[in-house]
Every structure is written in structure tokens, then in C-alpha cells.
Structure 1
Amino acid sequence: MSTESDPLAHFRLLSQVFDAVLGGDERSGGPRPIVSESWQRSLAADIDPESRTPPVVYRSADLPDIREAHPLNSVMPLLRNTLVSIADEAMHVMLVTDAEGHILWRDGAAKLLADADGVGLFPGTQWSEDAIGTNAMGTTLAVDAPVQIHSAEHLVRTYHTWTCVAAPVHDPDTGGILGAIDISGPLHTAHPALVQLVAATAQLAENQLRVQLAIADERLRVRNMPHLASLRGGAGALVTPTGRILAGEPYGWWPERITLHEGSDRVVLANGREILVEPLAEGYLLRAPGPSTSAPAQRPDTALTLRFLGDGAPSVLLNGRSIPLTLRPAEILTALALHPEGLTAERLALLLYGDDGNQTTVRGEIHRLRALIGADVLQTRPYRLAATVDSDFGTVRRALRAGRVEAALRACTGPLLPRSDAPEIRDVREELAVGLRRAVLDTEDVDLLYAFAGHPLGITDLEVHDRLTDRLPLGDRRRPVVASRRTRLLAEH
């Protein structure tokens, strides 16, 4: 029987190699090359083989926001469906890290979680090689390839009774590493097929991210094509925030990607051409230097971006240019965005001022707003926006109607124009707040419910915190945060 097929014999052999190498016995053959090289990197980082556990970097209270912002958050349902049931049956835990090796997610066999806690295998800890030595998560991030680290191949003696397999997950946009997927468990659970399973799951995650990227690219392209069309045939391109070219004129003139530098208003292409860089609400517009590209009146390809959710000042971008705005014109733009067919002065007055609305007041406000955004954008008879309008409140509304609750919550940064008392604004503000709350409560997703409990619309909602208290497992590290807020809300009631 080979030592690989006998876990105990394999453990003894690896332990002998470990003791010999670290004891300075030059006659020892040493571990596998990938392990040997990892030990060298770890020792160079001053890792003590007698260390106990990895450093805790993130508090449990900080993790929900960190997870929500991480790109792998969107593929966690896939990872859970693929690996957690297998991990549970095989007495493993599934761990997912970010690119620096911080564990952000953990699922798996309940009986093993207490043991995992004892050795630092829980969210918030750092498992890079320079933090805790050779381990599957840290080493897979270091070598950018699937890795299995078994028993005494771990540099730190604490983990010699563990076996783990990990694979990196890459960003389909930049190619960089987003994080690692890991399966860890006791020695006797080691199986050679785990390497293929984890590597295949990482590829599935990358494929799903690639599909999500393609969808996001198309939406960004459609929303921002008016910016490119405004160049009237001049050389220009739409660029993602990471520098990928989504669309360009003339065809074949542009590279696949450019490098953008923070704050720079121009870039030099590989062919030596200098190109101007104009920031858009999302991404950039590149254009060749030349006369102003201001378009004549009645321009149908104007792009108008409205960001009116949350407590900040209303934000308006007109073809990528910021327009200073106060509350009243923001209310008018909201009403016109909600009624693309147009509104009469009488109807607009009713929506903004109620029964006491005055058409003369509305006409004065319209006159001032047209001076800000242009008569070609805000047209009359009826009042309407001659532009491609992209609004944050419209995005939330569409996501709710399509049943995409997570997307709606992600897009909603707070109430619509919270200082507005206009009847139309109040109605839509209530529609979005109630609709989002109801949609979240109707889901069975505890992570989504927890995210809403920390959202401006849910942080003072006692029912949400009651529901979370009922659904969060007793050992869940989020419970103290929820319990603390719930106690405060009960006291306020």
C-alpha cells in the first residue's frame, strides 16, 4: 500500500520530511517543489512554523459591506450550490478569499466549524503566505494555479492535521486574481478528485462573471452611445472604467484596451496619437483633439444622467458634464423622467405643488432649468426631455418590476430626493422604499436581509431586525451586530 493511499502513513512521512528540513538535515529529499518554494517564501517573510493562528484583519461587523462590494459576491450562490453540499457530506468547509487572502465567506459541515474556528479558519482572517505560511489559499494566490496542501506540507505545525485544496478565480475584465476558492478538512478526508472539483468550480465562477460582464458591457454601451454619436462621425470611443474599448469610430482604429491614469485628461495610443479623455457617469469618452463637439439644437443623442437617491446633493451629468442643481429643478427633471411622453404646465404644476400649483411658477422654473441644460434638451409643448435619460431611481424601479431584488438593493443608495415635499416625488419615494422593503422581506436570502438591515431604508426597521434575529444561526458572527441594533430600536419604540 502506498503512503498516498494510507493517510496515516502519508502523514508520518510528511512529518518526517518537515522535521528534517526545518531541522537543517541536508540529506533529506525535501517536499514537493511547489511546497519547497512556498516554504522558502514563507520563511523569508519571517513566518514561525510554531505560530498558532492567522491574523484577524476584519471585524465581523465590517464583513457584510466588504462582501457586498467584492466581485465574487455575485457568484456565491453558484459556489454554494456547487460545493457546499459536497463539503457538508465529506466533512469539509468551503472558504472563499479575496485577492489578498482574507477569508470573506465560509460554509460547510456544521460539525467541523468549531474545529475551524479553533485554527482561525473563519471570515476576517488573512491566509496569504506572508501571514500564515504555506497553505492552499495563500499558495494558490502566490502561484496563480490550483494547489493541494496536505498535512505537514503546511509550514505552520498547527495545520498538520488538515488538508486543503484551492484554486484562484480571475477577473474576466482585467485578468487579475479576484480571490481563491478553498475546500479544507481533516486528514482522512483527502481525495485526489478535490483538486479537479475545486479547479472546475473556479472556472464555472469565471464563466458566470464573464456572462455578467458581457451584460453589463452591453448596458453601458447602449446607455452611453449618445456620447459617441455626439461626435458626429469624428474619431472617438467608449471606454469602461478599467480601460476596455466597448465601441469606437472609425472601426479598427482603436486598441482593445488603454491604460488610464487618475486625473489625466488625455492618453497617447500605441500609434503615437494623442487622444482626449472625458469622464462619463460610467466610464469614459475618448475623442481626437479638435474643435468643440457641441451639437446643434434638437440633438436627439444627448445623454442625461440623474442621480437623485440618497442624502447627497442631486447630481446631473449632461454628456458627461456635471450640471450644478438645486432641489426644485431636480424635482422637475424627476417628473419629466417619469413621464417621457411629456407634461403640460398644468399637469407639472399639479405633480410638483398639488392643488395649489401655479402654472406661472412652473414656467419660471422651466425657463431657469432650460438655461442650465439647454433648450434642445428640455423641450416645450409639452415639456419633455429630448435625451437618453439614465436615472438611479429608474434603475431601481425596473429592477423591482423584474424581480431582481439584489440588483435593486445595490442600485438604491437611499430615498429619492429626501428633502422634497412634491406630491409626485413623495409618491415615487414611497413606492421605491415600500417595494424594496417588501421584496427583501419576501426573499429567503439571509445575506440580502442583512444587507438591507444596514441600508438607509432598513437600518431603523424593527421588523427587519426581528426577522434577521429569527433566521441567523446561533453561531453566526453577524448576530451581535443585529442584536445590538434591535435592542436600540426596541428602546426607541
Structure 2
Amino acid sequence: MAITGLRIGPEDMSVGPEDMSVGREHTNEIGNAYDLHEVHPLQPLLPLLAQPLAHIADESAHMMVVTDADGWVLWREGNPDAATRREVHVYSEESLMRVLHVQSRSAAPIIDPDTDRVLGCVDISAVDLSGTARSPHPATVALVCATAKLAETQLALRMHERDERLRRRYEALGGHPGILLSQTGRVLSGDPLGTLGERLPLPAPGERMILRDGRFVLLEPFSDGYLLRAAPPTSAPASAPTHLRLHGFLGEGSPTALVGEHRLPLSLRHAEILALLALHPSGLNAEQLSFHLYGDAGNPVTIRVEIHRLRAELGDTIGARPYRLTSPIEADFLELRGLLANSDPASLARVYAGPLLPRSESPEIRRERDEFEVQVRTCLLLRGSPDDLWAYAQTSGGREDFEVLQRLATSLPATDHRAAAAQARLRA
């Protein structure tokens, strides 16, 4: 029995097509919320899940529910006393609503082996209207896990069958022209040494991209997947990849991006996004970027809007699926990271103008900022000359650093103005 227009979540949930359009991008693409179960990747597996579990759910006064990743019900079966057609509630003592404490629930996610994303959820509920169903039966946890694993196994089998069909078509071409990718970017053939990894971010069809070994390739549709073929050589200067240079990300400077000859002043939010993409060269999706910028309070929709604005300014230097920097990049904080790996105190003191984006409240930027600060300070205290320490003492982190100032006051001649300045700061 397929049920759509019904959602399992922490809030009160009602049935009705008028509620389905809010915040549901893929529902809008389908056109009708009640057709959701017909196009979902789990739909072919619903009979398989129903056969072993439907009679158990009915005889034990349980209800089994299969949802998509957002909690919308794809299929429901079980005892009719466990729920109505209008509402589904999560009963347990952990619920925020006291009225829901008469039902216990166990659930397990179904992970797509192709994309590693959550496709949906298997949920089993036990209800006792006398109010004594305080905890789930010990077998229910194992039951939902086994059911979810059954679905994942079937998905993996179907994925391998698709991959094998695609490989046979690829081998029929002869000579293995190019690199064979699945629709989701998994490398299936053409990379015998495994230098490309298991998955590649997919550019738009016909778009040039650079592989790890420096080769330029083009993405072409092929059957149910893609081929990466060598890009034709070109001598036109305009075809060379545009360099992206990021300046002013360390210290109190104003962050700017230089694309070719175009200089773009950056807002703090755009500087944060570019810094995160530079620090994660394999790319981040909207949800990951949102979490790195805002934590749990993030909204991926906001990220998509900001990326759209950035791409309008920076052009094809930002790729999609996932979001990533597609151009060769130079940045002061990336240079600093390289210098830290080499433990070169003189160069560190020259490059380190201060903390990474000091006004940023992004959790990920703060983590990177603190790591840079600790590593730079430690390296300079262990190996830095008085000149190096004095340069660090001009940054916001080193201006009142007691240990750095004390080292300067004792290592420099008393006639050196830097020793006097360090003594003054220590007294203050």
C-alpha cells in the first residue's frame, strides 16, 4: 500500500496535497506529490521488503513504514490500529510531545551504494493504547537493520549489473577510448592503476576538466554513463585555464579575488566560501558547505544563492556537482600551509600577516584559523630568529603574546628599539 502526502518527523504531520509543495524541490519536478513513490529509487524494492515483514507487522500489532530521505512515506503496512490515514506520530518517552509517549519506534536508514547518500528509512512502530509501550521490542532493532541491509544489498546488485552492462558496451568500442564513468561519476574502466580514485566530480557535458596527472579531458555522454576523452590541443591563449588568485585572507586585510586581470573585492561570506573550496579541493556539496559555514543552523538554499552570485562574478572558475574550484589557484593561506609543512620560520614570518579571515564565525574557518595560529607560533618559538618573532609580534595574535615578547626582550640588545617595545608591552 503506497502512501504519499504523509511525513514522519518531529513535528505534527497531516495528510494533504496542499502541504506537499513547501520545501520539496523534487516534488515540484514530479508535478504531483502522490506520484512520488512511483519515481523513487526504492520503489522497485518495496515488494521485496513487504513480503517477509508485512505478516510480522500485522500479527505483532506493529506497523512497518518505508520513507524517503526526507521522511515522506513511500509504503506502509501493518496493524490498522497502529495509525490512521490522517496522521503518523512517533511515540516514545524521548518525544517532545507527551501525547506521543504510547508508541515506541525503531528505524534504520537505507544508504545508496552508488552515491553513498541516504535514500530513505525503514521504520517499525509498536503501539499500546494502554500507555505501557515504553521501549521497542529487542527484536525490532535487528529487524529494521536487517530490512535496510536487504534493500542495500539489492541496490548494490542492481548497481553492479548496470556497471557490467556499461563495461560491455565500452569494451565493444575497442581500444578502450577514454575513461568510463557511471552516471554518478564512479570510475568503472580506463584507469588500470587507480590514479583517479573511485569517483570524480562531474563537469557539464562538453566541459574541459583537469585530471590529477595534468591531462585535459572532455566529458561525453555514453550509454547510461559518461566517457572522459582527451581534450583536443589548442594554441589559442584564451583557452588556457584562468588562474584564480586570492589575497588578503590572512590578517586584517580586505579579501580580494583576481581572475585573470579582473580584480573583485569579496564580501566576508564570499571569502569564506572561496576559502573553504580552496581548502577542500575535491569539492563540497551545498549541505556540506552550509554545515561548514553555519553549523547545524545552516540552510543549503542560502549556499546555492551565494554560489550563484559568486559564479556570476568569477565565471567558470567554480564548478558544480560538487561545488569546487576548477582553475589553478594561488592563495596566501595555501602558501602558508605549504610553508608549515617545510617548517621554514623566515618564510612563515614573511607570509603570516595574521589569523585566517579573523572576522569569520564559520566553524570550519575557525578550526583552520586556530590550527594555523598554533602551528605558526610553535614553529617560530622553536626555530625563529628575533626578526621572525618580531614580525609575528605585529600580528593580532602575537601583539600581546607573553612568551614571544619575553623572548624578544631577552634576546635583542637593550639598545634595539624592538626590545624596548617588547618590554613596554610586557609592562602593559
Return the TM-score normalized by structure 2. 0.43
Return the TM-score normalized by structure 1. 0.38
